[in-house]
Chains A and B, each alone.
Chain A
Amino acid sequence: MPKQLVNKERRVALFRMARNFAAGIAELLGEISDQNAYARHLAAQGATHSPEEWRRFSDERFRMKYQQVKCC
């Protein structure tokens, strides 16, 4: 295979890796911030985002979350 093509393939692979890594970080941030859980909640309920819906979701979420111990 020509050297130029190999380099291009490597660059594409590297770019894909970086993109996957960034997507993974974004996914983690979304999970830690409960934004992903909220999206799942909306999908499960067939609801659309509204301040009331968020308050309903977060009240339940926080109630569950703050019944768990935090680690030392």
Chain B
Amino acid sequence: MSTFKRVALTAFWIAIACGAAICLGAIASSRGEHINSMWLVLAAICSYLIGYRFYGKFIAARVMALNDERATPAERLENGHDYVVTNKWIVFGQHFAAIAGPGPLVGPVLAAQFGYLPGTLWIIIGAVFGGAVQDFVILFASVRRDGKSLGQIAREEVGKVGGIVALITVLLIMIILLAVVSLVVVNALAGSPWGTFTIFATMPIAVLMGLYLRYWRPGKVLECSALGVVLTVGSVFGGQWIAGSVLGPVFTLSAIAIAVAIIIYGFLASALPVWLLLAPRGYLSTFVKLGVIVMLAIGILAVRPELQMPAFTRFVDGTGPVFAGKIFPFCFITIACGAVSGFHALISSGTTPKMLARETHIWPVGYGCMLLESFVAVMATIAACVMDPGVYFAVNAPAGVVGRTAQAAVTTISGWGFPVTADQMASMARSVGEVTLFSRTGGAPSFALGMAHIFARGGGGDIVLGFWYHFAIMFEALFILTILDAGTRVGRFMLQDLLGQVWKPLGRTGWMPGVIGMSAAIVGAWGYFLIQGVRDPLGGVNSLWPLFGIANQLLAGIALSVATTILLKMHGPKFMWITCGPLAWLVLVTFSAGWQKIFSPLPALGFLAQANQLEDSLNAGSITGAAIAQTNALIFNARLDAAVCGVFMILVAIVLIDSLRLWYGILRGTQERTVVESPFVISRLTGEEA
């Protein structure tokens, strides 16, 4: 490289670093005035560039010593099915489509109750130093081990206990995940005929697509998906007409009715042939998801909206209406997948390692995709914070906190220092074609409102607000339901796998009684938590989302333990800080959040305190009649949530103790430092092929 080029490049990176520092400084020091969302966008992009170019490269070159001369599993084991040498950017797109779920959209919206600053900083810093590193190291570990799964790697590198615990943890997390994402859909669709019709319409559309692909135009997936997208957008238009027609009341369903419908859907999707419903929905959802993320990025860049939410709100003290708990640890727990996601470790040790052509591709795919996911979370924060804070809290605060009437809610919220009026809320509800927007908890409606405002300002104004709001709801519900149906099916396989050890026929995936029984067991498990969330007077999100966040971050803890073990075996203690740092932070955050959720004396926060308070009311005779049975159910549920949270913590503590035992042995020299990698085979791929 010529001296001029080197100087120019150095100047460029200095400019990017200064850009990151200036933008982060601006968003961190701005108080009492609205700032433009571009500060957040630029702070994120500059930080990602620096993190990717320097920290990512350091890990790639010095720690992992990625070597393009070493053949990857895709090359060595190529079979045309799962092991396939694939272009770097195609794997990037595939991996991103696989890791991008509703978490980075919902979590940051909920965490906006603390203000825009804490969430944004954690999304950026957490992704650069934690989430991206976890995905990167696990992807590397899997590539070096023939594309093995996290459970298998844990079993080989840490021990048998780690592998089994990882499997059980994944199953439990999935049950909570499916319940909480279903709750998000229920809260978005309850009492909304337009939204409900649109989502119901996607089911016959998916079946039509399935038949089209199977019998009419086999193999024409793109053609079929294009047809599906057109029909789905048509159903968003049609929903407005349906809502105003005689069919309106048919699609105006209560939260319980929608929850039951989703449970039935989950069961059917798990038991029906995949080609009929799951696969076409999967295609449709992936295309819509990627399209909307690109549209949102373009919308934010084009409109450059101002943030209405302050940097910090008064709720950093833990008295927030959206969910209880102080900024530490609950901001980090709530953001979850936007910064660090344990689930990504499962994807990074699933399909992706079997497709990479060269080892150096692990860097953009493993590290880069997580940065992009983090950027999606920043966009979600922006969508939540462009609304008036009063409107944000009116939408996200449960009726059990702010009051059941519009007047009570606006009085409470305005009393917190976030002015909002009943007329303002009524007019906003009218403009998006809803009856009310009060207490639409779960994050999806407020994200949809923010997104609709950004798109409407981009063109069309208030006339298109209703369309974009319901388009956003359709987009979120569509890919949440895709997670639900696929998750139920995967959960069924896992359960069959586990129980097949006890009684062989249960393990056979083609044995119908087993299929129906196991599907019912999985649906029953997440369905129970869903109904519990729907009946919760605090909206369900208050208890279920933190439970999901804790579980997800604990899974990340398992992944980072495995990653640390591998780094320790590779280099000794020299580089273990890379994964041990984020691991220590996550252990601190998750265990303190878990402890507070179980043992906090505040009934709004602690499950046991909540159960005790309800029990005291029962014993004092202040609850009578039909409310007694309901209160008993609430007491049981609070104790169940405490038990589930406790089980998660114990499971992860087992893995941590097992890992610490191993690390201590390695550091003292009493344990072998053998890394279980597949043998080195020289790559025969030419530049063209890779």
Contacts and interface: CB of A to CB of B under 8 A. Distances in A.
B177 interface: yes
A66 B84 contact: no
B214 interface: yes
Contacts of A68: 346-347, 350-351, 490
A58 B224 CA distance: 14
B15 interface: no
B154 to A, nearest CB: 15
B86 A72 contact: no
Contacts of A65: 279, 282
Contact of B344 (A32, A54, A67, A71): A71
Interface string A4-20: 00000000000000000
A60 B228 CA distance: 23
A72 B102 contact: yes
A40 B80 contact: yes
B80 A41 contact: yes
Interface in B640-656: none
Contact of B275 (A27, A41, A59): A59
Interface in B337-356: 337, 341, 343-344, 346-347, 350-351
Nearest to A63: B274
Residue with the greatest number of chain B CB neighbours at <10 A, chosen from A27, A61, A68: A68
Nearest to A35: B221
B287 interface: yes
B274 A62 contact: yes
A66 B486 contact: yes
A66 B222 contact: no
Contacts, number: 120
A68 B347 CA distance: 8
Contacts of A63: 274
A34 B94 CA distance: 11
B341 A58 contact: no
Interface residues on B, range: 35 or more
Given A58-B213, A59-B275, A72-B181, A27 B90 contact: yes
A2 interface: no
B80 A32 contact: no
Contacts of A50: 218
Contacts of B346: 68-69, 71
A22 interface: no
A72 B552 contact: yes
A44 B225 CA distance: 26
A69 B100 contact: no
A3 interface: no
A22 to B, nearest CB: 13
Residue with the greatest number of chain A CB neighbours at <10 A, chosen from B90, B350, B351: B90
B283 interface: yes
A72 B274 contact: no
Nearest to B222: A33
Interface string B541-579: 000000010001000000000000000000000000000
Q: SS class of chain B's interface: helix, strand, loop or mixed?
A: helix
Nearest to B91: A31
A49 B219 CA distance: 8
A51 B283 CA distance: 19
A54 B219 contact: yes
B215 A58 contact: no
Nearest to B489: A66
Nearest to A38: B219
Interface in B22-78: none
A16 B341 CA distance: 38
B240 interface: no
A55 B347 contact: no
Interface string B202-235: 0000000000011100110110010000000000
Given A28-B90, A51-B215, A72-B343, A37 B84 contact: yes
B98 interface: yes
Contacts of B97: 32
B101 to A, nearest CB: 4
A50 B100 CA distance: 34
B325 interface: no
A58 B282 CA distance: 13
A30 B222 contact: yes
A58 B125 CA distance: 41
Nearest to A58: B275
Contacts of B392: none
A52 to B, nearest CB: 8
Contacts of A33: 221-222, 225, 283
B219 A31 contact: no
A72 B490 contact: no
A64 interface: yes
B81 interface: yes
A66 B493 CA distance: 9
B82 interface: yes
A45 to B, nearest CB: 8
A59 B337 CA distance: 32
A72 B275 contact: no
Nearest to A61: B81
A29 B214 contact: no
B490 A67 contact: yes
Contacts of A59: 275
Interface in B374-417: none
Contacts of A67: 490, 493
B170 interface: yes
A70 B101 contact: yes
B214 A55 contact: yes
A72 B222 contact: no
B362 interface: no
A65 to B, nearest CB: 8
Contacts of A64: 81-82
A32 B93 contact: yes
Nearest to B479: A70
B487 A31 contact: no
B120 to A, nearest CB: 20
Residue with the greatest number of chain B CB neighbours at <10 A, chosen from A40, A49, A50: A40
A32 B287 contact: yes
Given A51-B218, A72-B343, A40 B274 contact: no
B480 to A, nearest CB: 10
A71 B100 contact: yes
Closest 7 CB pairs of A and B: A54-B218, A33-B221, A44-B80, A62-B274, A28-B93, A54-B219, A51-B218
Given A41-B80, A71-B100, 4 more contacts: A50-B218, A54-B219, A69-B350, A71-B344
Interface of B: 80-82, 84, 86-87, 89-90, 93-94, 97-103, 170, 174, 177, 181, 213-215, 218-219, 221-222, 225, 274-275, 278-279, 282-283, 286-287, 290, 336-337, 341, 343-344, 346-347, 350-351, 482-483, 486-487, 489-490, 493, 548, 552
11 contacts: A28-B93, A28-B94, A33-B222, A34-B221, A35-B221, A35-B222, A54-B218, A58-B279, A65-B279, A69-B346, A69-B487
